[in-house]
Structure 1
Amino acid sequence: MTPSAAGIDLIKQFEGCAKKQPDGSFAAYPDPGSGGDPWTIGWGSTGPDIKPGVVWNQQQCDDRLASDVDSFATKVAAAIGSAATSQHQFDAMVSFAYNVGVGNLSSSTLLKLHKQGDFAGAQAQFARWNKAAGKVLPGLTKRRAAEAALYGS
């Protein structure tokens, strides 16, 4: 499966293309939950190449989003395996993994329940993932509600 426009729009909605500078470029910034690592730029991109002082233009942000979403989609599809999955369920899980990591999705009760066909149970699991550094973040609570809504639609 590949992410649909709805899935990509959901990621964009919550990641935002943040820290736009007056000249139109985008600066790397620390993780809002930890105040440090992982450093982030553009549409929520992280990695060893993202650190303080990194600046990208809009095209670099958009190109990295496309590359990152493709990579996450491949890994999410592998984690799901042959389990029955709708487009909306897939999109919601890609958005979830984009934010919390594929490893967390892979070991989650959310994925376990999804693979067992307990879609209502899986949908309810999104809400459990609303903390960063042990603190509930309102933005994560909203994101998980939107992911759960997409998953269940």
Structure 2
Amino acid sequence: MDPRKSIFDAVRAVKGDISPGDVLILDEALDRVDVPRATSAPRRVGTKGIALMHKWEGCAKRRPDGRFEAYPDPGSKDGRPWTIGWGSTGPDIGRGTIWTKAECDARFERDLVRYANEVSGFLADAPTTQDQFDALVAFHYNTGAIGKSTLGKLHKAGNYAGAAAEFGKWIYNDGKPLEGLKKRRADEAELYRSAS
């Protein structure tokens, strides 16, 4: 039994639906007061998935002083979302945000746990290899769309060939296909199809 379930149920009763970000905040708070987690270990992204995300996110916009500055999304009309480090975005990131490499790495680690938990929650008990999981987290890290995508739904249904074909449809930003997204999705699909 999950010792945190009653706490989450109580929060939902007061607040209504809670977002994945709220779940992460609650989990971190419960960790600090030593409320145990469920006995089944959460899935973690493997080295192939991390390498894939590092390849495509880069740790860009290094300043002469060695720190990193936020930059606008190069493919969107309005520059949103602002990004820093290993593809980190959010309300705390915008023009003028500057981080050290250690801050970039720490945020990536936190984001990675959050996105892995979101993908795990979506997949539930659907059979998934480590490489498939890594590819799905990499996709979700970039799109935030695992739960609403046909790709995710096909994977959960066990249609792995159909799911793999869906990666190539996620290549648009503001209605335009981007060469970088085509290559990224090809890499994700290749990892998804691999054997481990």
User: Shorter-chain TM-score: which interval?
Assistant: over 0.9
**1:37, distance to aligned residue in structure 2 (A):** 1.2
Q: Segments of 4+ in structure 1 off by > 2 A?
A: none
Larger Rg: 2
Structure 2 stretches lacking a partner, 5+ long = 1-42
Give the residue type in structure 2 aligned to 1:106. Answer: G
Q: Which residue of 2 aligns with 1:6?
A: 48
| Pairing 1:118–2:152 present | no
Q: Which residue of 2 aligns with 1:133?
A: 174
Q: Which residue of 2 aligns with 1:62?
A: 105
Partners in 2 of 1:90 and 1:45 — Cα distance? 20
| Pairing 1:78–2:90 present | no
1:37-52 alignment, distance < 5 Å: 37-52=80-95
Give the residue type in structure 2 aligned to 1:6. Answer: K
Partners in 2 of 1:98 and 1:65 — Cα distance? 10
**1:36, distance to aligned residue in structure 2 (A):** 1.3
**1:107, distance to aligned residue in structure 2 (A):** 1.0
Instruction: Tell me the TM-score normalized by structure 2.
Output: 0.76
- Counterpart of 1:142 (choices 176, 183, 191) is 183
Partners in 2 of 1:40 and 1:3 — Cα distance? 21
- Please provide the CA RMSD for this pair: 0.7
1:85-96 alignment, distance < 5 Å: 85-96=128-139
Structure 1 stretches lacking a partner, 5+ long = none
| Pairing 1:25–2:93 present | no
- Counterpart of 1:15 (choices 41, 57, 78) is 57
Partners in 2 of 1:134 and 1:105 — Cα distance? 19
Partners in 1 of 2:152 and 2:142 — Cα distance? 15
Partners in 1 of 2:148 and 2:114 — Cα distance? 18
Give the residue type in structure 1 aligned to 2:159. Answer: D
**1:111, distance to aligned residue in structure 2 (A):** 0.9
**1:84, distance to aligned residue in structure 2 (A):** 0.3
Greater RCO (Cα-Cα under 8 Å, separation 6 or more): 1
Partners in 1 of 2:152 and 2:84 — Cα distance? 28
